[in-house]
A = this chain, B = another copy of it.
Amino acid sequence: MILVLKQDITREHIDALCETLESRYKVKTNPIYGKEQTIVGLVGDTSRVPEEEISNFDSVERVVKVQEPFKRANRKFHPDNTVLNVNGVEIGGQKVVLCAGPCAVENQQMITEIAAGVKEAGAVLLRGGAFKPRTSPYAFQGLRAEGLHYLKEARDCTGLPIVSEITNPSQIDLFMEYVDIIQVGARNMQNFELLKELGRHKRPILLKRGFSNSINELLMSAEYIMSEGNPNVILCERGIRTFETATRNTLDLSAIPVLKAKTHLPVFVDPSHASGFASYVEPLALAAIAVGADGLEIEVHNCPKCALSDGPQQLLPEQFAGLVKKARAVAESIGRSL
């Protein structure tokens, strides 16, 4: 941690500041007296030095952090990739993982049919929303507990582990009973009460990046879950909000190599929510594999036209099967497989 001091600070002030810092936070200080500006380097365990408090001192112009604020998710302290095993599906390893299914579970028949379809095409995880966070209170809000029940039946038929989104800490018992990977949606990425609760169990969490959250904030939210004791976190890029309106969000594929450098956690990409249009899903899915994603989450519906939510971005099972074929070729071209 480095303190940049204000320009007009006297030598006496600097000495007093250093004394305070050393005694209060048990760190060593190293002032560097510049012609126009003096800086003070702090050495030792600075993870507990409160940046905000320090930046408030009269003599301090600003504080520069040298180390990253996340520990458990940091690749520096855990160089090897984290590989999860969910009912036999390896996540974060050599294989690229395909997770597919409808935006929302609408009834038992549709989810069972879609599950069979995406399994045959090559998916190894089944997604489906039971609790739906919707911008409008007048839109379809999901089948809730009933939807989880249908998902479980689809798993019984196909063997595919289930991914579904939680929206309230009060739902946690239900999710522990039914769901193999609990998804935290973009809008809840900084619902810290929910993250802390999920950290108290070991169930794998698929943590989606908020559409306006930085990569560092995503890692800090993973840190919330991990610091409570749950190391099983999968990150997911799903598009960020920018000025561009031709796609629903701007898929930030640069985030994948950045995340792979900063953290050991597996990283997924969701091209369906990012683009908002079915016709862009396939090229973005291929790009996601080429850029290094460990998995894809793709929306598939047996009748997108009659879907109760997010119709325009969902693929038909046969379109998904076509995508898988191309995805396999791209994965192999970079030395991975599906």
Interface size on A, residues (CB 8 A): 105
Question: What is the CB-to-nearest-CB distance from A292 to chain B, in angstroms, rounded to a whole number?
Answer: 5
State A287–B254 Cα separation when bound (angstroms). 10
Which B residues are in CB contact (< 8 Å) with A332? 333
Our pick among B55, B138, B304 for the contact of A47 (Cβ within 8 Å) is: B138
State A255–B283 Cα separation when bound (angstroms). 11
Q: Is A25 an interface residue (CB 8 A)?
A: no
Q: Mark A131-175, 1 if CB is under 8 A from B, else 0.
A: 001111110000000000000000000000000000111100000
Residue contact B136 to A220, C-beta cutoff 8 Å: yes
**CB nearest neighbor in B for A243:** B241
Which of A48, A67, A138, A170 has the largest number of chain B CB atoms within 10 A? A138
State A138–B69 Cα separation when bound (angstroms). 9
Of residues 196 to 249 in A, which have CB atoms within 8 Å of B's CB atoms?
196, 210-212, 214-217, 220, 223-224, 227-228, 240-247
State A287–B289 Cα separation when bound (angstroms). 8
Of residues 54 to 94 in A, which have CB atoms within 8 Å of B's CB atoms?
55-58, 64, 66-67, 69, 76
Residue contact B252 to A56, C-beta cutoff 8 Å: no
Q: Is A13 an interface residue (CB 8 A)?
A: no
How many copies are assembled?
4
Residue contact B287 to A133, C-beta cutoff 8 Å: no
Residue contact A250 to B242, C-beta cutoff 8 Å: yes
Residue contact A135 to B244, C-beta cutoff 8 Å: no
Residue contact B245 to A245, C-beta cutoff 8 Å: yes
**CB nearest neighbor in B for A171:** B193
Of residues 251 to 289 in A, which have CB atoms within 8 Å of B's CB atoms?
251-258, 261, 274-275, 279-280, 283-284, 286-289
Residue contact A66 to B39, C-beta cutoff 8 Å: yes
Residue contact B253 to A287, C-beta cutoff 8 Å: yes
Chain A interface (Cβ < 8 Å from any Cβ of B) = 2, 4, 7, 30, 32-37, 39, 41, 43-45, 47-48, 50, 52-53, 55-58, 64, 66-67, 69, 76, 133-138, 167-170, 187-188, 190-194, 196, 210-212, 214-217, 220, 223-224, 227-228, 240-247, 250-258, 261, 274-275, 279-280, 283-284, 286-292, 304-312, 326, 329-330, 332-334
State A39–B31 Cα separation when bound (angstroms). 12
Which B residues are in CB contact (< 8 Å) with A67? 36-37
